[in-house]
Amino acid sequence: MVDSPEPAATSQAPGSITRRFVSRGEMAARARTETLQVADLAALELRPGNYIYEHQGQPLHYAFYLKFTDPGQPLLVFGQGFQARSQVQLPRFQRMDWAEELPYNALIFNDPTLFLREDVSLGWCAGTAEAPVLPTHCEIVGQVRDALGIRNENILFYGSSAGGFTSLMMASRMPGSSALVNNPQTDVLKFRRGGVRRLLEVGFGGIPLDRAKAEFPDRFSFVASIAAGAQVPRIYYLQNILDDDHYTDQLLPLLGTLKLRAEERQEIDLSQRFILELYSDAKALHNPVGFDKIRSCLESIRPWFEGAPVQD
């Protein structure tokens, strides 16, 4: 079974991992995983087995965990959410214990944006104005796909909150792939809970929100990308209706944009692309659902990432 997080530690040195945010299972998985240094991300040498790959480049430091155990079988790609920087050590590979428990190959990204400054807890894989992260992450996914001998149809991106945003963005850039997301952001610049202005300060020269929206729409908004004609991937969208700002600011604009796309292109069958599951949890609010629920969701959409074609 997957371990649940332990209670918060009473004292902890800055920058170290606490029991509050990292489960025992994840800490154990990290402790037994060897780290390999990568000289060139464009020419990865991927080994069968479980390894951490790290490229300490400039201006961004890339790191990812790869469970490469079953060539020919699906790949599950995990996005990264909020990191309490005083309580975790980077690079962090969120849900390593889930990856070990699930019967799929797995790839977990640490967001390089977080390395830009110690007080950045959310980066949405935006990188800097000159150095976007998601294109590089998509290239890495492509190299893993090719090493496994699979197709985009065998790839599923999973994430909650900021990890849900990057999962949606990457799935839209890899035609045929799918995404399973939980309370995601669909437009980073509408996020009300802090971190956006810090990101713009650290990576984008402190530009205001309206300028960020105008100059970098493909970096900050899945809704804008879809409105501009980006690929609509297959999406399983889990949303707590009591997570009010994410329901109102993130889900509803996406539904409106999908409606417009459907009206403009009548041949798009959203019933084959979009599953929306609403639930009500007053205690969890924005916090994600647990492993058992995600495992159930994965089972219900297994035909998606076992290679079923996407029908337009």
Q: At 257, which helix (H) or strand (E)?
A: helix 252-264
> Whole-number mean pLDDT of the chain?
90
Between CA 69 and CA 82 the distance in angstroms is: 28
CB distance 236 to 299 below 8 Å:
no
Confidence label for 127 from pLDDT (cuts 50, 70 and 90):
very high
The whole-angstrom separation of Cα 125 and Cα 128 is 9
Q: What is the pLDDT of residues 3-33, one digit of tens each?
A: 333 333 333 333 333 335 788 889 999 999 9
Whether residue 107 contacts residue 78, with contact meaning beta carbons closer than 8 Å, is answered with yes
Q: How many CA atoms lie within 13 A of 127 on its CB side?
A: 20
Is 90 exceeded by the pLDDT of residue 128?
A: yes
pLDDT at position 262, please? 83
Give 278's strand partners.
239
Q: What tens digit of pLDDT does each residue of 41-85 get?
A: 999 999 999 999 999 988 899 999 999 999 999 999 999 999 999
List the 75-78 sheet strands across, edge first. 34-37, 49-56, 61-68, 105-110, 75-78, 155-160, 178-182, 234-240, 274-279
Residue 59, preceding peptide bond in cis (omega within 30° of 0): yes
- pLDDT greater than 60 at residue 182: yes
In 3D, which of 97, 110, 233 has the Cα closest to residue 176?
233
Contact between residue 61 and residue 110 where contact means Cβ atoms under 8 Å apart: no
% residues pLDDT > 90 (the chain): 82
From the list 109, 102, 124, 137, the residue with the least C-alpha distance to 219 is 124
Does residue 94 have a pLDDT over 50? yes
pLDDT score, position 8: 31
Whole-number pLDDT of residue 136: 97
Superfamily for the 24-305 domain? Alpha/Beta hydrolase fold, catalytic domain (3.40.50.1820)
